[in-house]
Every structure is written in C-alpha cells, then in structure tokens.
Amino acid sequence: MILSLFLLIIGLILLVKGADWLVDGASVLAKKYNVSDLAIGLTIVAFGTSAPELVVNSVAASGGYPDIVFGNVIGSNNFNLFIILGIAGLITPLSVQSSTVWKEIPFSLLAAVVLLVFANDYFSSPNPFLSSLDGLILLGFFAGFLFYVFTQLKSEETIESVAQKDYSNFKIWGLIFIGLAGLVVGGKLVVDNAVSMAQSLGVSEKIIGLTIVAAGTSLPELATSVVASMKKNNDIAIGNIIGSNIFNLFLILGVSSIIRPLEFKQSFNLDIYILIGGTIFLFLAMFTGKRKSLDRWEAAILLLVYLAYTTFLVLKEISKSNDSIF
C-alpha cells in the first residue's frame, strides 16, 4: 500500500509537470506557425491528453473487458466536462471563440448522440453491442472532425494569451514530446495503483471504469486545462476538453470496437444522457451571463452536478452490494 501511494504521488507530479511543458510548447508552436491556440488544443494537446484512454481501452478491449472500455470513455468525458471545465472555469471565466460555440461544442454533442444510437443498436440487434463496422463509422466521423480542424481553424483569429517566446524548433517539440511522455507515464502510474487499491476493496468493473479509471485517465486533461487556465490560455483550456471528448468517442471507441466488438450494457445509458445533458448545458451557457463564456457560477453548477452524479453511483453500488449479501 505504501509503494502504491508513493507511485501515485510520482504519477501526479509527472502529470503536473508534463502539462506545464505541453502547454508551453503547444502555445509557442501555435504562435510561431500562425496556427490558432484552439486548433492546437483540439488536436495536438487533445490527442496527447487522450493517450492514457487510448492505451487503457486498447488493453481492455483486447482482454475482453467491455465495461472498462465504455466506463472509461463515458466516465472520462463526464469528468472532463463537469469536473475539469468546472475547476478551470472557477479559476477564471473561460471566454471562447465563435467557432467553439457553433461548431466544436455541437460536434461533441453529435459524438455523444451517435454513441447512444450505435451502442444501443436502435436499428438492428436486440442484443446491443458496438461492432467493428460501427467502429469504422466512428473513425469516419473522426476523420471528418480532423478535416474540419485543419481546413477551418487556421483562419481563426488567435487570442494573444501568452507572450511570444524565442524557442528553437528542437526545444518546442522537445517540450511537447516530453510533456506528452510525462502525461502518459504519470496517467498510467495513477491508474494502475488506483485500480489496484479499488479492486482490493471489491469495487465492480463498471464503477472502476466510470470513476477511478475515468478520473485517472482524465488527469492529463485536468492538469493541462488547469495550467492553461492559470496561464490565461482559454483556447487551450477548453479546446483540450472539447477535443479530448471528441477523440474519446470517435477515435478511441472506434479503435476499441475494431480490436474486438464490445457488448454494451444499457445501464450505461444514464451516463450517456448525463453527458448529453452536460454538453447541452455548456452550449446554453454561452448565451447566459457573459456571452461566449463559461462564467464561474456556471462552472460551479457543473461541479455540483458531477458530485451529485458520483454520489448516486456510489450509493447505488453500495445498495447492490448489500442486496447481494442478504
């Protein structure tokens, strides 16, 4: 237990430092090549912080653990949306660009709705599962998203949120890759040790996926967005979250279901509904209070909803455990 706690702390340190280096490198890269911070946040940073989910889900899918796969992705997206944006929004109100309001947030909503339809097999099988064909279609949506990013966002007006730094290409990419490595290694250390402790307490696979694994693999997003928020780089802070959620649903679930078709338990539908509702709330928040901004009170609502949701999951799991005993 002491060793697990030590490795957990090392993992958290790697996550924080990795996020710091990644944000610095990505911000300078954006300015140097006249690419918007939002484009960098939606692609390089989002992919890097989603790497732990990709690793965990690929292993879980190949091992035949669909509850971990779905729990990790859906739980990570809810954690990203409610906890990370909530914390970042409390640090400083997150002003966003018009394209985020009208394009990226709706695209992330589309991703959640597509998952709900595909996973439940509303149009075919009475036994819901995510097939390899579904996975290919999800990857097609992901390709469409990348096409949008690279063709549209280069022309976005960039908010000068950080001072230009005179870094060489070697140093810029060094910061990015070392930052990504710190995030991936740190995330793995945190997840492995957290899951080990949870399993020793007899927690179910679904709850582990929705909470501990989801929170653990979302720590890179948390560290990156909090650091970006503190540096007043709102585009990377929110672009990282929206991009990661799209990556998780389209890329990671697409790859996972191609590795092995995934049986879907409809008890996950509630978690998807919460994700859809939270995304709709984020969209509406752009028109309440200060326009095109997530205000502190709106961020507080996101945090409170997630705390209530997690409490419900834990109480439900405790109730099931008591029923099984008696």
Q: Residue 184 carries which side chain, given as an amino acid letter?
A: V
Q: How confident is the model at residue 177 (pLDDT cuts 50, 70, 90)?
A: confident
The answer to whether residue 300 scores a pLDDT higher than 50 is: yes
CA distance 272 to 209: 14
Q: What is the mean pLDDT of residues 196-218?
A: 68
Q: How confident is the model at residue 106 (pLDDT cuts 50, 70, 90)?
A: very high
pLDDT value at position 283?
Answer: 92
The answer to whether residue 86 scores a pLDDT higher than 50 is: yes
Q: How far apart are the first and last CA of the chain?
A: 31
CA distance 243 to 270: 23
pLDDT in tens, 178-192: 888 887 787 677 667
| C-beta neighbour count of 124 within 10 angstroms | 8
Q: How confident is the model at residue 143 (pLDDT cuts 50, 70, 90)?
A: very high
Q: How confident is the model at residue 305 (pLDDT cuts 50, 70, 90)?
A: very high
As a whole number, the mean pLDDT across the chain is 80
Domains of the chain, start order: 37-156+202-321 (1.20.1420.30)
pLDDT value at position 197?
Answer: 65
With the C-alpha atoms ordered 294, 295, 296, 299, is the resulting torsion angle positive or negative? negative
Q: What is the mean pLDDT of residues 154-159?
A: 50
The answer to whether residue 324 scores a pLDDT higher than 60 is: no
pLDDT in tens, 25-51: 877 777 777 777 667 777 777 777 677
For residues 120, 306, 95 and 226, what is the CA-based torsion angle, rounded to 10 degrees? -110
CA distance 119 to 290: 37
Q: Beta strand pairing status for 293-294 and 94-95?
A: antiparallel
Q: How confident is the model at residue 163 (pLDDT cuts 50, 70, 90)?
A: very low
From start to end of 116-157, where are the E strands?
Answer: 129-130
Q: Measured in whole angstroms, how far is the alpha carbon of residue 19 from the centre of its chain?
A: 14
Token pair belonging to 75? 């739980």
Which has the higher per-residue pLDDT, 19 or 156?
19
Answer whether 170's CB lies under 8 Å from 2's CB: no
pLDDT value at position 275?
Answer: 95
Q: How confident is the model at residue 160 (pLDDT cuts 50, 70, 90)?
A: very low
Q: Which residue in this structure is represented by tokens 């200060």?
A: 290
The answer to whether residue 248 scores a pLDDT higher than 70 is: yes
Q: Beta strand pairing status for 129-130 and 94-95?
A: unpaired
| C-beta neighbour count of 5 within 10 angstroms | 11
**Nearest Cα residue to 295 out of 81, 100, 89:** 89
**Nearest Cα residue to 259 out of 51, 52, 58:** 58
